[in-house]
Chains A and B, each alone.
Chain A
């Protein structure tokens, strides 16, 4: 039975901006889908949600989600989000960006925001390259992978993002792939209901560029890699959460409570106000 009927999640998307620009088989659409589903399943006040994105294919996501949104300069969504969250702590601030934007040019902002445990929620679409600009090497590109700027094979070791996030002080760290749609939605929901710096890495397929250069020409082939190689190892050591051709360790790695920046700031300001005899 086929009909042209409104999709149940359409209300979370900006109709004037759809359809999105992402390639056939691109994982970004699945991330958008999972995010919209999480919004649908939670009693959130969507007027209080702000989505901030950086530069890259996934950066367009901010334009597609029907909430207050901002598309910053390359690498800076987390710094921008810090200003938003501190100015209006009751806003839920979510950063959706890519591996290059968050961890190459934006790496410094990531580690400091994680260190501060500021209540920003970060979703990283990791597609192993810089897709928007045509497929250059990035900080998560696997060794020996072919990209336009590593035409002889990549000689740089990639980051282990969940290890980096955990080591920097993030209080919720998870990794899923776009195949793990249910767990991804679950993690996003969890993230939106907790306080403190939260990070979800989502392995996302880039068939048109990364896949094409690396023997996985269709979204399905990359998705099959995700499915076959993934092993769920919740709360295992993030330092050993490898991503290889045969093994992708996914799951939730960190979930803990630690005073957030906003909590400490609030307490300090109350102290100061008391001292002033206010």
Chain B
């Protein structure tokens, strides 16, 4: 990778720009997108930077075309990305399913805004987090990350690319309008210090290659177009050769189960959380995205006031950090889940927390929760 691709140094930049720079640092060399508030700046920054680093930028005619082109570029061998918001994310669902089914590594950024429908284009929301897991039809598992800072917009984009390549799965970056538009200090490390993972390539000759024959980690090595493997890939249920086998129940069971197990069985390696003051916490706040910033303030304030509060920040939304939530729930008296929606991740928390009481703190509209609002909830339930 050319040195000038990675802007090593200390910067003051917005989340959208940091995300684009993270992608470039991870090796992304294809971006196809469509303008949509509040993700447009990612596309605009990519339009400037991609040609400079020898990558491709194209503005497609709609979001469906964008994600289709991203999958095509991925299959042609490039690390590829698109960025959108709620309405575009909805449009992309069918092809996200195609990426899952054909195991195409790619990154999709959803900068969440007020929904549903056209909603509040310029204001934040966290209303798409369930859609991240269940948005496309059929049974599947997917990886979704939630950045809480501009630094994480850079770091988690790099991680998203690495996860996508490692597990041959579309990886989602579920940002929100605040994290995307705010400006903060970002440290971009030197190239050598940025961990970049590339997809496994086949180590057998063309005659012996099974495009969907998995290794022990349940991930098949990936040949790309033009490498002489002459393989077939389809969104139809297929066997290890990639050939459609739509009438075969065994093939369907094996394939769908493997696509799910690929993520489930590797969940421990994928999931990341941040735990603050959790060991002796009576009241655990579980938050993600911009809300986690206010939650951290609230937890610290509560400790000052003598309340044993702790924060479990979800960095990985999917696969859901069941074990971390369950462990924290066992020691806690109550869990508080502030979200900018009417109750989405709280359902997962309730499921994992089992009998520990879980309290939802919804907030919709222009502002994320204030630290005071979360502190008052902590106090109420402590």
Contacts and interface: CB of A to CB of B under 8 A. Distances in A.
A47 B52 CA distance: 30
A82 B65 contact: yes
A50 interface: yes
B56 A73 contact: no
Interface stretch (A28-36, A84-92, A137-145, A197-205): A84-92
B73 A16 contact: no
Interface stretch (A174-182, A237-245, A252-260, A268-276): A268-276
Interface string B229-255: 111111110000101100000000000
B75 A70 contact: yes
B68 interface: yes
Given A79-B72, A80-B71, A87-B73, A112 B225 contact: no
A46 B72 contact: no
A228 interface: no
Interface residues of B, number: 46
A82 B243 CA distance: 23
Nearest to A21: B244
Interface stretch (B7-15, B76-84, B116-124): B76-84
A71 B236 contact: yes
A73 B68 CA distance: 9
A86 B30 contact: yes
A28 to B, nearest CB: 16
Given A84-B73, A87-B78, A91-B225, A109 B61 contact: yes
B373 interface: no
A46 B30 CA distance: 25
Interface string B95-139: 101100010000000000000000000000000000000000000
B70 interface: yes
Given A48-B226, A83-B68, A63 B243 contact: yes
B267 interface: no
B72 A82 contact: yes
A81 interface: yes
A47 B235 contact: no
A13 to B, nearest CB: 12
A10 interface: no
A272 B57 CA distance: 13
A66 B72 contact: no
Given A76-B95, A272-B51, A14 B225 contact: no
B80 A87 contact: yes
Contact of A88 (B76, B97, B244): B76
Contacts of A265: 56
Contact of A76 (B56, B64, B226, B243): B64
A14 B242 CA distance: 12
B228 A70 contact: no
Interface in B342-374: none
B69 interface: yes
B69 A69 contact: no
A17 interface: yes
A112 B65 CA distance: 10
**Which of B74, B76, B102, B227: most chain A CB closer than 10 A?**
B76
A72 to B, nearest CB: 7
A276 B49 CA distance: 12
A276 B4 CA distance: 11
A234 interface: no
Contacts of A40: none
Contact of A86 (B56, B64, B74, B229): B56
Interface in B15-58: 30, 32, 51-52, 54, 56, 58
B277 interface: no
A192 interface: no
Contacts of B94: 73
B241 A83 contact: no
Contacts of A272: 51-52
Contacts of A87: 30, 56, 72-73, 76-78, 80
A122 interface: no
B187 interface: no
B52 A72 contact: no
Nearest to B68: A79
B225 A50 contact: yes
B62 interface: yes
A83 B80 contact: yes
Contacts of B66: 79
A48 B226 CA distance: 5
Given A67-B230, A71-B233, A76-B65, A83 B51 contact: no
Given A47-B230, A63-B244, A71-B233, A108 B62 contact: yes
A151 to B, nearest CB: 28
Interface string B196-237: 000000000000000000000000000001111111111110
**Which of B71, B97, B98, B225: most chain A CB closer than 10 A?**
B225
Given A82-B58, A91-B76, A265-B56, A76 B230 contact: no
Contacts of A246: none
B60 interface: yes
Contacts of B58: 82, 86
B69 A88 contact: no
Interface string A32-76: 000000000000001110101000000010110011111111001
Contacts of B4: 276
Nearest to B79: A87
B27 to A, nearest CB: 13
A17 B97 CA distance: 25
A239 B188 CA distance: 57
Contacts of A80: 68-69, 71-72
B52 to A, nearest CB: 6
15 contacts: A47-B227, A63-B244, A68-B225, A71-B234, A76-B68, A79-B72, A80-B71, A84-B225, A85-B72, A86-B30, A86-B56, A87-B73, A87-B77, A108-B62, A269-B54
Top 5 A-B pairs, shortest CB-CB distance: A83-B72, A83-B69, A79-B68, A71-B234, A87-B76
